[in-house]
Every structure is written in C-alpha cells, then in structure tokens.
Amino acid sequence: MTQDEVFAALERAAILGERCPMSTFDRMPHQSARTPPTVLLSSTAISALARQGKIRIDISGRNWRTVTILVGPHAGKKTAGDPNGHKIWQTIGVERTLDTAAARRGA
C-alpha cells in the first residue's frame, strides 16, 4: 500500500470510530479461514505519517493504538480508544518530537 492508501485507511477507521487497523496479523483468532484477511498496514508508513504531522499515534495498555487525524477535512477524528481505559504510555507525532526537542534545549 502507498502512504496515501495507508492514510485513507486510517482516516476511514477514524471516521467510523473503529479500532486502528493493525499491521502484524491477518486474521483474528475467532475468524475462520474463509474470512477475508484484515487489511495490513505498514508500520513504517504509519510512523512516516506521524513524523510528517498528518497523524498522531497514542499508545496505551498492551500496545493499543489510537490514531488522531491531524490534517484534512477529518482533522480531529480518532480511531477507537483503548476499551480498558489504560493510560497512554507513548505518543508518536510532530508535537511529541517538538516537545522532546524543547525539553533537551531546556525550554
């Protein structure tokens, strides 16, 4: 998938309030072999979108990812949040990079 296709898939999930599409497996354990595989998204493309400031990724619990769309007509929409309400332990995105750089400078 191209980066634009990955962004579109994330945007679609955010519009619908669905879970962020995963990149590590193609079927849930309860799905049969006849079930079409889940669309796999490249974690490299997702990280690149975050570095470009197009999305923000909040990671909580056991690697639950909530993606916030930062650009375009659907800016502000998010994929489903952690159903267990775990704290966010990592954020990947432009604001995180800028905050970290400012902290190093002592700002």
pLDDT tens, position by position, 5-59:
899 999 999 999 999 987 654 455 555 555 555 556 888 889 899 999 999 999 9
Q: Dihedral of the CA atoms 73, 20, 10, 7 (nearest 10)?
A: 130
pTM of the model: 0.74
Query: Can you tell me which residue has the tokens 């056991």?
Result: 62
Structural contact between residues 69 and 46, judged by C-beta atoms closer than 8 angstroms: no
Taking only the tens place, the pLDDT of each residue in 79-98 is 999 999 999 999 998 654 44
User: Domain extents for the chain?
Assistant: 3-105
